[in-house]
Amino acid sequence: MRRSVLGVLLLAALLGALPQPALCAAAQPEPGPEAALDLAVLRAAYPGAVQGLERDASGRLALVLAGGRRLPYDDGRPRDAAQALESPDIRTMLAQIYPLGPVDEAAAHPPPGFDPGRARSQALFMALYGGTRAAVRGRCAAVGFAGRGVLFNARFGAAQALARVWTRLEGLLPGHPQWRDVLRPLGGTLAWRRIAGTKRLSMHSFGLAIDLNPRLSYWRTEPRPEEAPARRAAFPPEILAAFEAEGFLWGGKWASFDLMHFEYRPEMLLKARVLQGQATLP
Ligand SMILES: [Zn+2]
């Protein structure tokens, strides 16, 4: 009797002492399919910049950049929508899938908090494109767009992609005189600045975003937000398609809408295309 009680106590002590994360890590040494896809799209979008995924001592996955820098891929922290925007890990950054294509009924009415691409790992973009105003400026090239010369980051094909967007649109302009009010006056591209109401750097800081006419609707200043679905649906589909084809996402598809804003996020567009069967990865 005494021996069996001791045995139970010993077993309970052993079970209690076993480190559960280590058990999980041992049972799942390889990244799951979501992590594998995220790694593949990051590698494809940012060639040479990403080494891989590694587990740390606690079993959490980290994204390892070229040069050895590690960023949390999945730090295990639960996040509400505000925390996801403020300090996402890489998994959170890529979790919402960008809705490709023309604005249909669903895209015109994104549910609250559906802002694919708006949660960004600032550390990742600083590592990829430049960590200071001067470093970013040194990597920017002039691109012709809507009759202006604008500065855009030349790393990872961003400036070339913006130039191709304009090439796609320029030939269509004569048939679409109404685009004038969408494209002009052009809001601009490179500007080292915080996102309004936050301490986070805007993607304009990295020379990776372009604002079309600033009079287009923005959630912070729109007096009639109930009209956002109609404004989304009225946006020229050819302009949207030209940007998406070149790896840009549109802030007009966010619940926190920003209809003037396009940003170069090839990893987000590629992930969406792979999940829709429109693209394959090596
Ligand atoms: Zn913008």
Give the distance (Å) from ligand 1 centre to CA of residue 171.
25
Residue 110: DSSP 8-state: P
pLDDT at 221: 86
Q: Where are the domains of the chain?
A: 99-266
Q: Which residues pair with 150 in a beta bridge?
A: 143
Give the distance (Å) from ligand 1 centre to CA of residue 262.
7
Give the distance (Å) from ligand 1 centre to CA of residue 190.
10
Q: Which residue type, as a one-letter code, is found at position 39?
A: L
Give the distance (Å) from ligand 1 centre to CA of residue 53.
31
pLDDT at 27: 53
Q: Is residue 271 within 8 Å of residue 45, measured between CB atoms?
A: no
Dihedral over alpha carbons 78, 116, 81, 91 (to 10 degrees): 10
Give the distance (Å) from ligand 1 centre to CA of residue 227.
20
pLDDT at 25: 44
Give the confidence band of 166 by pLDDT, cuts at 50, 70, 90. Answer: very high
User: Is residue 112 pLDDT above 80, yes or no?
Assistant: yes
pTM of the model: 0.88
Give the distance (Å) from ligand 1 centre to CA of residue 175.
27
As a whole number of angstroms, the distance between CA 99 and CA 46 comes to 21
Question: Which three-class secondary structure state does DSSP give residue 282?
Answer: coil
